[in-house]
Structure 1
C-alpha cells in the first residue's frame, strides 16, 4: 500500500494528518501489512500528554505486539472507538476508518512527506 500524499510520516510507520488545530494519527499500510491481522489496540487515553517518539500505546496482532509511538508532542483529544471495537479496521483501511487517535499538537519533530516515506520503506 503506497503512502498517501498530504500526510506526514514517522520512521516508526505512523502517519499524521493535520486539520486546523487537530491532527489525526494512524499507522501506515506498510505497518499494517507487516503486523498481520490486528486483534487488539491499546490506545492512549483522552487527555493524555504525549511526546514525539515515545511509546503511547500498543498494537497486538496474530504475529506480535508492537509499540505505538507518538508522532508529535501534544494532548490526545479523541480515540477511535470503532477501531478499538474492530481492530481489523487498521488492516482494511489504515488511512481511513482505521485511524487511531486525534491530538492537539504542541510540537512536531522532523516528519517525512510521502516521497521520503516511500524511499524509507523501499530501502527497508
Structure 2
C-alpha cells in the first residue's frame, strides 16, 4: 500500500510499505506557484539525509525554491529525467516528476507528516 504525507514546505512523501521506500515529490500547489520549471537540482544517490535537510532546489522562470527532506534516511535513487526534462515537475509533479527515493531510517517520521486535508489548510490560511 502507498500512503502519502505532506510537509508545510510543499513536499510529498509517498511511502510504499512493500519496498520500505519513500518517493519524494513536490505538490501540484507548489509547481503552480513556481511557474515554468527550468532547472532541478537533485541530491546524490547514497547521501544520508536528516528530516528537514535541504536536498535539492527547483528553479523556475519566476522563482527558486529549496527542497527539504520530509524524512530521514538514505537517497537510493534520483529521477534522472529531470536533468533533461525539468518541465516534468509542471506536467506531472506527483507522478513522473518525482525527485528522489529514500530508504527511511526512522519510520515514525512518516506519522508526523500532514494529511492532504491538513496540508491544504496550511497554505489556505
TM-score after normalising by structure 1 = 0.90
Q: Which runs of 4+ in 1 moved over 4 A?
A: none
Whole-Å separation in 2 of the counterparts to 1:51 and 1:32: 24
Whole-Å separation in 2 of the counterparts to 1:60 and 1:90: 11
Whole-Å separation in 2 of the counterparts to 1:105 and 1:70: 11
Whole-Å separation in 1 of the counterparts to 2:97 and 2:79: 8
Whole-Å separation in 1 of the counterparts to 2:67 and 2:55: 6
Whole-Å separation in 2 of the counterparts to 1:31 and 1:10: 11
Partner of residue 81, structure 1? 80
Whole-Å separation in 2 of the counterparts to 1:118 and 1:27: 13
Partner of residue 16, structure 1? 13
Whole-Å separation in 2 of the counterparts to 1:77 and 1:83: 16
Deviation at 1:84, TM superposition (A): 2.2
Partner of residue 28, structure 1? 27
Structure 1 stretches of 5 or more lacking a match?
none
Deviation at 1:88, TM superposition (A): 0.5
Partner of residue 4, structure 2? 7
Deviates further, 110-119 or 71-80: 110-119
What's the C-alpha RMSD, in Å, of the aligned pairs? 1.4
Deviation at 1:6, TM superposition (A): 4.2
Aligned residues: 119
Give per-residue Cα distances to partners, 1:11-49, cap 9 Å, x unaligned.
100000011311100000011011111111110000001
Partner of residue 120, structure 1? 122
Is contact 2:47-2:74 (8 Å) kept?
A: yes
